[in-house]
Structure 1
Amino acid sequence: MDPITLLQQLIQVNSVNGNERAVVQIIQSYLADAGIDAHFVETAPGRDNLIAEIGSGHPLLAWTGHADVVSAEPVAS
């Protein structure tokens, strides 16, 4: 999958808080296409983190980011 297709899929998926699983599934697929094994760590129903490792030893690089967004719906006051 090329980077443009990846971004299109990420933008199209419902990624409002609580729907992280849909996002990490897309990213996991992208990594699998590159030969990188990744697995989910469920923190709550529908809320997953993605862990991927390349190589072993030191130095170690870790990257983290949010897989969810806030709703575009207006907040009731």
Structure 2
Amino acid sequence: MLDPVALAQQLVRTDTRAGAERPAADLLAPLLREAGFTVTVREHRPGRANLVARTGTGTPLTLTGHLDTVPADASGWSFDPLCGDLHEGRLRGRGSSDMKSGLAAIVAAATEHAARRPGADLQVVLTFGEETGCEGAAGLDDLAPSPVLLVAEPTANRIVLGHKGAHPAPGC
């Protein structure tokens, strides 16, 4: 079983400020492949990639999140924004809450579910550019329709059943 905290640490240490999400997709793709998912990493522009992973042949449950973070100027931080260390029981670094921990939770849950229920209908969709207008989501064109979409985005640290989203940002 994947350790989601260790995976979140690796993700925080991976610089994915808008425009460089491909390294995170490349980190996560083999984990999903090893769990039995068919994985596609599609680079829409240099360094900007979406990852779509699928198992099963029926209507899937979809888990989704974004690979990018907002920029981090290290001069404004009291520690390295890409440290990914645990400090007083908390993960710290750029994207630790939005949304590298969510990505780690998605991938850990998906791989565990696939191990327990091989062939289960599950789709993992990880996009680039959420912080800069959702251009990664706008570039998705071959997803399986899904009646359930779980977004691991922090929303005031509470579970919500729906979200109004952003308007008029195309693709969000």
> What TM-score, normalized to structure 1?
0.79
Deviation at 1:40, TM superposition (A): 0.7
Distance 2:17 2:7 in 1: 18
Determine if contact 1:6/1:30 at 8 Å carries over to the other structure: no
Question: Does residue 17 in structure 1 map to residue 18 in structure 2?
Answer: yes
Deviation at 1:70, TM superposition (A): 0.8
| CA RMSD between the two structures | 1.7
Question: Does residue 53 in structure 1 map to residue 54 in structure 2?
Answer: yes
Distance 2:6 2:31 in 1: 10
Deviation at 1:6, TM superposition (A): 1.3
Q: Count residues with an aligned counterpart.
A: 73
Deviation at 1:2, TM superposition (A): 2.6
Q: Give structure 2 stretches of 5+ with no counterpart.
A: 76-172
Question: Does residue 71 in structure 1 map to residue 71 in structure 2?
Answer: yes
Q: Give structure 1 stretches of 5+ with no counterpart.
A: none
1:61 alignment partner AA: L
Question: Does residue 2 in structure 1 map to residue 13 in structure 2?
Answer: no
Structure with the higher fraction of residues in strand conformation: 2
> What TM-score, normalized to structure 2?
0.39
1:18-67 Cα deviation digits (max 9, x unpaired): 11100111111221232222111122111000011010122x22333210
Q: 1:27 corresponds to which residue?
A: 28
Larger radius of gyration: 2
The percentage of aligned residue pairs carrying the same residue is: 38
SS in 2 for 1:56: coil
Following TM superposition, the consecutive aligned residue runs of length 4 or more in structure 1 with deviations greater than 6 angstroms are: none
